[in-house]
Amino acid sequence: MEILITSFSLLTLLVVAILIGTRGRPMRFFTAFGESMKAIWANRGPLFWVAASVFLCLGFVFFFYASPATRIGAVQPISFSHQLHAGIKAIDCRFCHPYVERSIYPGIPPVEKCLYCHNYIIANHPEIRKEHNYYNSNTPTPWVKVFYLPEHVLFNHQRHLKKEIACESCHGDVKKMDRLKGTRFKMGFCLKCHRAKKVNVDCWLACHS
């Protein structure tokens, strides 16, 4: 979807640029463009191939890093949005992730919790119907996990939250994300903050089980 929006906006910009550049006679652009393409193709030398590869690489970089579609995370079974719930509706993170201070498994809320509200709010929305289906058939919602640690690392939220480290410093600006863009945490990320805050960096003892 976002790819479509991006491409569409780029196309619109291009059309506007052509219209302005040819003062309202777009066909001029195409004839001129055709002529110059023919000329370039006829005289193609090393420079042509260099330019073409640079162009391709830039396009690649754009779609992998800059386009909005790549800035959001995995598709989830229900199109749940943190931006809507935690941001706009300002529901506390701990309402849905209540074990975050107490357990190494902060927990993803079971659908019962969604239904506290959604039995009343937009109860017939197709996405909410899916919640009912999961609930009635006793199937846990197959949420896709997006934040990972290497298997040999133990992470405990508790000590971090006691020191009032914000969720955002590790999970990014969750309140502005529809779909969470996860990450695979690397040790460097943990160590950078531990060094800055002068915490134990004797990681083999502290973090590795």
Q: Which residues of this chain interact with ligand HEC, rule CB under 6 A?
A: 76, 78-80, 82, 84-86, 89, 91, 93, 95-97, 100, 105-109, 113-114, 116-118, 121-122, 125, 127, 131, 143, 145-149, 153, 155, 157, 159-163, 165, 167, 169-171, 174-175, 180, 182, 185, 189-190, 193-194, 197, 199-200, 206-207
Q: How far is the CB of 197 from ligand HEC (least distance, A)?
A: 4
Query: Which two three-digit tokens encode residue 186?
Result: 């690397």
In angstroms, how far is CA 130 from the centroid of its own chain? 23
CB of 112 to ligand HEC, least distance (A): 9
Cα 97 to chain centroid, rounded: 20
- Among residues 195, 200, 173, 202, the alpha carbon closest in space to that of 72 is found at 173
Instruction: Tell me how far, at minimum, the Cβ of 186 lies from ligand HEC, in Å.
Output: 8
**Of the two residues 21 and 107, which places its CB atom closer to ligand HEC in the complex?**
107
Judged by beta carbon, residue 29 or residue 106, the one nearer ligand HEC is 106
Q: Which residues have C-beta within 8 Å of that of residue 108, sequence separation ≥ 6?
A: 96, 97, 141, 143
Which of 102, 183, 108 has its CA nearest to residue 150?
Answer: 183
Other C-beta atoms closer than 10 Å to the C-beta of 163 total 9
Sequence-separated (6 or more) residues with CB below 8 Å from residue 165: 193
CB of 207: closest distance to ligand HEC in angstroms? 4
Nearer to ligand HEC, 132 or 175 (CB): 175
